[in-house]
Amino acid sequence: MSTLRLNSIRLGDYLKPALIGGSIGLAVIVWFLSQTHGGKPEFGPYWMLRPLIIVPVATAMGGAAFQFIRNLVQKPVGAKVMLTIFGLLVFVVSLWLGSVLGLAGTYWH
């Protein structure tokens, strides 16, 4: 008896978690950038655009990945809890990687 579910993937199932993940990423990067006291002149006048685009996109993908991981198992509660924790870890890693990719070369050298 297999506990994995292999149904077709519908866009609507992953759109809401992706939007929530992107919103969380946008809020985090806006808060982080608002704590800075302006960029260095060598970064250029639009240096904030890169992190404001990359971080929400990365966390939107992390939110969709979180939902995909949660949908793998439906019945056993222990497996569902473990996959939810793993999905949260994947989301946090996507936030971290998005922040590194977005801020490297603009805010950080």
Q: What is the pTM of this model?
A: 0.82
pLDDT at 12: 79
Residue-wise pLDDT for 35-88, tens only, equals 877 666 677 778 888 899 999 999 999 999 999 888 887 778 888 888 889 999
pLDDT at 19: 95
107 pLDDT band, cuts 50/70/90, is confident
Share of the chain above pLDDT 90, in %: 46
Q: What are phi and psi of 73, to 5 degrees?
A: -125, 135
Give the start-to-end residue ranges of the domains of the chain: 11-36+47-103
pLDDT at 1: 47
For the chain, the three-class secondary structure string (H helix, E strand, C coil) is CCCECCCCCCHHHHHHHHHHHHHHHHHHHHHHHHCCCCCCHHHCCCCCHHHHHHHHHHHHHHHHHHHHHHCCECCCHHHHHHHHHHHHHHHHHHHHHHHHHHHECCCEC
∠ CA 19-90-35, rounded to 5°: 65
5 pLDDT band, cuts 50/70/90, is low
d(CA 20, CA 62): 10
